[in-house]
Amino acid sequence: MTTTTYTVKGMTCGHCVSSVKEEVGEVTGVTGVEVDLATGLLTVDSDGPLDAAAITAAVEEAGYEVVDR
C-alpha cells in the first residue's frame, strides 16, 4: 500500500471536502481518501504508485488547487 499527501488550497467547508474526496476517489488505483479541512491536507491511499497529474486533475475538477505534494 502506498500513501501520498498533497496540500489543497481553497477549501472552506464540509462540502468542499466532500467534493475533493469524491473526485479523487474516482481516480483509478485509489483505495482511500482522507481530507482535513483545517490543514488542507489530502491523504491518498493506493495499491501502488499513482500518477500525481491524475490526482491534481481530480482536485481541479472539484474546483480546488494542489499547492504542494
pLDDT 10s digits, 9-57: 999 999 999 999 999 999 999 999 999 999 999 999 999 999 999 999 9
For residue 42, the enclosing domain spans 2-68
Phi/psi of residue 45, each to 5°?
-100, 145
What is the number of domains present in the chain? Answer: 1
pTM score, whole prediction? 0.92
Cell of 23: 473526485
Asked whether residue 68 carries a pLDDT value surpassing 90, the answer given is: no
CATH number at residue 55: 3.30.70.100
Cα 46 to Cα 48: distance, rounded to the nearest angstrom: 5
15 — alpha (psi -120 to 50), left (phi > 0) or beta? alpha
Predicted confidence at residue 14, as pLDDT, reads 96
Q: How confident is the model at residue 69 (pLDDT cuts 50, 70, 90)?
A: low
